[in-house]
Copies of this chain bind each other. A is one copy, B any other.
Amino acid sequence: MQKRPLYPPFTIGVDLGGTNTVYAIVDKTGYIIDRDSFPTKTPSVDVWADILADGICRMIDKNSLQGNIVGIGIGAPSANATTGSIEGSTNLPWPPPVPLSNLIEARLGLPVKVNNDANAAAIGEKAYGVAAGMNDFIVLTLGTGVGGGIVCNGHLLSGARGFAGELGHVTFPFAQDRVCGCGRKGCLETVASARGIVETAKRLMKTTDKPSMLRKKTEEELTSKTIAEAANAGDELAKEVFDFTGECLGKAAAEFASFTDPEAIILFGGVAKAGDLLINPMREAFGKHTLHLYRDRVRFLISSLEGANAALVGAASLPLG
C-alpha cells in the first residue's frame, strides 16, 4: 500500500466528550495520522490528564513525530479560550472550573489551546473545511444543543471573557412557546437542536392528523436522524418538520447577518446531516427576512468535515487559529 504524504505542521486534537476522550495527530490538511480514545470517566481530573498525556506521548513516539508537534487543541463543552478552563456545568465527571490547558501544558510542555466545540468547529472549517480562505463566516453547530462560532475580519470572536458566539441562546418569536435549558424562552436551541426537531415532530403529530411513518416510532426511535430518514423517504409530516426548522434557521440567520456581514453561514453537527432538507427552506427564509444589504450575498453551506471526526479535527485546528 502506498503511503499517503503528510503535510506539516502537525497538531494534536483532543475531543473531550462526556463518554469518551478521543485524541489524534492531525496534519495540515486535516488528515488524521493516528487516533486513540479512552473513557472520560476517571477517578479524578488529574488521572484523566495523566492518561491523556501518556497516550499522546506514546502516539507521537509511535509515529516518529518527536519535536514536530506545534501544539495541542482541546475541544470541550463550556470550555473557555480566554481562561483555558471548562467553566459552567457540563456532563463531565468533574466539577467546574477544570483548568484543562494548565493540566496538559504542565505534563507535555506543548502549548495548549482550549475552546468550546462550536468555536473549534469554526476554526476547523477554516483550516480544513468549507470555510477555507474565508475571513467572515458563522458556524452553527446543531446537535444536542446549538452553538455558534463566529469568524469576522479573519479572527475567531471570543469577546471580553471568552463567551462570544452563544447563538443557540439568541431568542426569537418563532420559539416563544418553548422553554430552553437555560431557563429562558424562545432560544434558537429549542427549535434547531436534535431535541427541538423531535419536539417539532411531536407537536405536528399531536396537532394534525396527517399520516406519517413517524407515528409508529417509539419514544426512543423518534430522533432527528430517523425524522430526516423519513423526510428523505418522502414522508410529508417529516418534511414539514425540516421546513419549519429550516425556516427558523433562516429567520435567525437573517438577524445574525446584521452583526458580522458574513460571506457564509455553515451548518455543522449531527442535525446538519439533513443537508438540503434544512438548507433550502433556510435560504428561502433568509432572503425573505434579511436586510437588503445581505440578500443574495450569503452562502449557506454544510460542513465538509468528516462526521465522526469533525469535532476531533476541529480541536486539532485550534493551535493554527
Q: Which one, A11-19, A99-107, A169-177, A278-286, is touching chain B? A: A169-177
- Looking at the assembled complex, report how far the CB atom of A230 sits from the nearest CB atom of chain B, in whole angstroms: 33
In the assembled complex, the Cα of A166 lies from the Cα of B166 at a distance in Å of: 19
Knowing A152-B157, A155-B155, A173-B173, the reply to whether A291 touches B166 (Cβ < 8 A) is: yes
Contact of A160 among B160, B170, B262 (CB under 8 A): B262
Copies of this chain held together in the complex: 2
Q: Give Cα A256 to B176, complex, Å.
A: 18
Taking a contact as CB atoms closer than 8 A, the residue among B167, B260, B294 that contacts A157 in the complex is: B260
Q: Determine the residue in chain B with the shortest Cβ distance to A187.
A: B291
CB distance from A56 to the nearest CB of B (A): 29
Distance in angstroms from A113 CB to nearest chain B CB is 15
In the complex, what residues of B have CB within 8 A of residue A135's CB?
Answer: 160
Given A164-B261, A169-B258, A291-B184, verify A155-B153 contact (CB < 8 Å): yes
**Nearest opposing residue in chain B for A134, CB measure:** B160
Quick one: closest B residue to A168, CB to CB? B258
Residues A118-174 near B (CB distance < 8 A): 135-136, 150, 152-153, 155, 157-167, 169-171, 173
Q: Does A292 contact B (CB under 8 A)?
A: yes
CB of A69 to closest CB in B, whole Å: 26
User: A161 and B261 in contact (CB under 8 A), knowing A155-B153, A155-B155?
Assistant: yes
Q: Roughly how many angstroms separate A169 CA and B184 CA in the complex, as a whole number?
A: 23
A50 at the interface (CB under 8 A from B): no
Contact residues, A154-207 vs B (CB, 8 A)? 155, 157-167, 169-171, 173, 176, 182-184
Q: Are A165 and B291 in contact (CB under 8 A)?
A: no
Contact partner, A159, options B166, B167, B261, Cβ 8 Å: B261
Residue among A170, A261, A294, A297 facing the most chain B CB atoms (10 A cut-off)? A261
Interface pairs (27), CB distance under 8 Å? A88-B293, A135-B160, A136-B160, A150-B260, A152-B158, A152-B159, A157-B157, A157-B260, A159-B260, A159-B261, A160-B297, A161-B261, A162-B261, A163-B261, A163-B294, A164-B260, A164-B261, A165-B259, A166-B258, A166-B261, A166-B291, A166-B293, A167-B258, A169-B291, A171-B255, A183-B292, A184-B289
